[in-house]
Chains A and B, each alone.
Chain A
Amino acid sequence: MTDKERILEVRDLVKHFPLTQGIVVKRQIGAIKAVDGVSFDLHKGETLGIVGESGCGKSTLAKVLMALERPTSGSVRISGRDIAKAKGAELKHMRRNIQMVMQDPYTSLNPRMTVGDIVGEPYEIHTEVAPRGDRRRRVQELLEVVGLNPDHINRYPHQFSGGQRQRIGIARGLALQPEIIVCDEPVSALDVSIQAQVINLLERLQDEFNLAYIFIAHDLSVVRHISDRVGVMYLGKFVELGKDVEIYDRPAHPYTQALLSAVPVPDPEGREQRERIILQGDPPSPANPPSGCRFRTRCWKAQEICAQEEPLLQIRTGTGHESACHFAETHDVVHVG
């Protein structure tokens, strides 16, 4: 992997949302630390899966990567250039290179636009990619690539099923020939029988166009299937990052272990004997995360040092990949998928 070209570099990325009080005069009384120090690289043609509980900051991270939200601090470099420092034509060019596929195929498409207008809309901003006269042909090509009938270019979103609408969203994401696509829960809203079709499509397109994916999802077996590496997030931070086999077969962080053990196995054989770590309580508020290790309030391994010292994301003795736990230790309790 290291010899492959690095296309995205994220360093110490932070996104805080101000918490304000008062209606007329707003005072900032704190901040929601949605993303609080995230670093990783993404290489050409690679898929990085991101998993973690609701509210841990996955979508916020995606938005900051897409430059839809300004980071509070830290940097996002695309092909070596810092997106926060880019302006004008350069920023436009960088934006072209990173596109997004959203979770909800039912609301993320404008109901009053035809499929042709939706898929071709990015060309309105990036006229250089497809001259006006060429657009219709381009859009029809894209529809064909994602397995839709090119003759349906004048139809409206409501005339398509959920899976087909998700394909429309993917076609639109491909329009500007990006090198990176951020997929935020791209199949969660779809029927089980349709999810596999969309995942196969994403994988086929990756091979064809050498795309790099950031793949956010809560179905851990789907993430394992599609990812080369996986990052596990908890309260705004990565607690573990490694190759798919490292995370799934040799998880080192207690949170990853609990998360994996909670996934029900689709096989009833031996279900009574299965070891399961049931976490107590809910994740703490991102406005007021615990000191030291953020997982310590729910962790069965926590000692005094966990409250005092923040464990950094690094390779630890006995484990071959990065984890952020003072007592990291590989453990093979669980098998997903």
Chain B
Amino acid sequence: MPLITEPNLYSPDDFYADLIAAHEGLSDEESEALNSRLILILSNHIGERETLKQALEAAKKS
């Protein structure tokens, strides 16, 4: 499945607030570790190598 880059999040503001709240009170290292775990969990959810490769490319392009 090709990478979705159009809006696909249900209720973006709620999601963003949850994301920031998950980091509340964490040190920088703890936050980094949380982000790493989160990326792995989401990657597993996506599953497809081709999609993940596209995501990596998109993130690297900045």
Do A and B actually bind?
A: no
> What is A's interface to B at a CB cutoff of 8 Å?
none
> What is B's interface to A at a CB cutoff of 8 Å?
none
